[in-house]
């Protein structure tokens, strides 16, 4: 038998969605940040571990990667934070039209970024099969490409959703705000990787 109950309060007046740490999905996304962030950190640790065993970096006879494509990508990625911030603000004030506009701009910028991203692989000046140095910088780039494409796809789906009948649910604004947060994570992770792939080999060689 279960205990008899005593009513101690009512929850009916509570809101049904909230932004930031009041939202359940926010915590889920933060947990995924921690997982992906740990993976990146360990991959970076692997990079330094392998570097520590070498006399020169990159090991002879390889030359450091050509930074042009990577730099173009990085600049675009950082610029995309402007519409991303605007989209986040629009979501938080529940302005559907502005949100649609800025999210589409972010998506368009992503589509453009795919081009320099593709050229990044060709500018590494080493194959993953050549040696462990090649293996690790290919892996770092590959990990981030996955991260980038995942959120690109996520943004596209969300943008599509905003043009359907589901756009009226207030949860969509929470989703959009959290997607914007994810995009910040994407470029934050990229900055150290960018330095490790393109610049550190130049500085130490």
Partner 1 sequence: MTVLSGKDLPRDGEQLQGPALDARLARTWGDAPGLWGWITTTDHKRIGIRYIVTGMVFLVLAGLSALWMRLQLATPENSMMTPDRYNQLFTMHGTTMMFLFAVPIMEAMAIYLVPLMIGTRNISFPRLNAFSYWMYLAGGVMIWVAFVLNIGPDAGWFSYTPLSGPQFSPGKRVDIWAQMITFTEVAALAVAVELVATILKQRAPGMTLARMPLFVWGALVTAFMVIFSMPSVALASSLLIADRLIGTHFYNAAEHGDPLLWQHLFWFFGHPEVYIIFLPATGFVSHITEAFSRRPVFAYPAMVLSLVTTGLLAFGVWVHHMFATGLPRLGYSFYTAATLAVSIPAAIQIFCWIATMWDGRPRFRVPLLYVVAFIVTFVIGGLSGVMQASVPIDLQVHDTYFVVAHFHYVLVGGAVFPLLGAFTYWFPKFTGRMMDDRLGKIAFWMIFIGFQVAFFPMHFLGLMGMPRRVYTYPTNMGWDELNLLATIGSFVVAAAFLVFIVNAIFSLARGAVAGANPWDAPGLEWATSSPPPQYNFPHIPVVSSRTPLWDNRNHLPVMTGLRVDDRELLLTSVMEAIPDVRDPSAMPSAWPLWAAMATTCLFISSIFTPWAVVIGAFPVAAALIGWFWPKSPPGPEPVIE
Task: State which residue, 27 or 191, has the beta carbon closest to partner 1.
Answer: 27
Task: State which residue, 72 or 96, has the beta carbon closest to partner 1.
Answer: 96
Distances (CA, A) of 145 to 127, 140, 205: 17, 9, 26
| Shortest CB 106 distance to partner 1, Å | 19
Q: Encoding tokens for residue 131?
A: 């040696």
The answer to whether 141 touches 44, Cβ cutoff 8 Å, is no
The answer to whether 180 touches 88, Cβ cutoff 8 Å, is yes
Task: State which residue, 42 or 78, has the beta carbon closest to partner 1.
Answer: 42
| Shortest CB 123 distance to partner 1, Å | 19
Q: Encoding tokens for residue 118?
A: 């593709």
The answer to whether 174 touches 18, Cβ cutoff 8 Å, is yes
* Residue bearing tokens 């359940």: 24
Task: State which residue, 48 or 75, has the beta carbon closest to partner 1.
Answer: 48
| Shortest CB 116 distance to partner 1, Å | 20
* Distance from the Cα of residue 2 to its chain's centroid: 48
| Shortest CB 28 distance to partner 1, Å | 5
Task: State which residue, 60 or 203, has the beta carbon closest to partner 1.
Answer: 60
| Helix 132-161, helix 24-52: angle, nearest 10 | 160
Give the binding site for partner 1 (CB under 8 A): 1-18, 21-24, 27-28, 31-32, 34-36, 38-39, 42-43, 46, 49-50, 53-54, 59, 94, 96, 128-136, 138-139, 153, 157, 161, 165-166, 168-171
| Shortest CB 120 distance to partner 1, Å | 17
Q: CA-based angle 20:87:80, to the nearest 5? A: 110
């Amino acid at each position: 038998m279960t205990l008899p109950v005593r009513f101690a309060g009512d929850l009916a007046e509570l809101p049904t969605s909230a932004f930031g740490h009041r939202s359940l999905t926010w915590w889920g996304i933060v947990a995924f940040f921690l997982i992906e962030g740990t993976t990146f950190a360990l991959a970076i640790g692997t990079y330094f571990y392998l570097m520590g065993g070498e006399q020169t970096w990159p090991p002879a006879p390889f030359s450091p990667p050509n930074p042009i494509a990577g730099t173009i990508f990085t600049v675009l990625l950082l610029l995309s934070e402007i519409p991303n911030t605007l989209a986040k603000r629009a979501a938080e004030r529940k302005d559907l039209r502005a949100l649609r506009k800025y999210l589409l701009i972010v998506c368009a910028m992503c589509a453009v970024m795919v081009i320099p991203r593709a050229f990044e692989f060709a500018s590494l000046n080493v194959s993953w099969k050549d040696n462990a140095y090649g293996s690790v910088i290919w892996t770092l780039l590959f990990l981030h490409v996955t991260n980038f494409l995942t959120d690109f796809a996520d943004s596209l789906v969300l943008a599509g959703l905003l043009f359907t009948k589901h756009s009226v649910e207030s949860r969509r604004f929470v989703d959009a705000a959290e997607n914007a947060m994810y995009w910040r994570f994407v470029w934050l992770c990229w900055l150290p990787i960018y330095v490790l792939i393109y610049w550190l080999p130049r500085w130490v060689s």
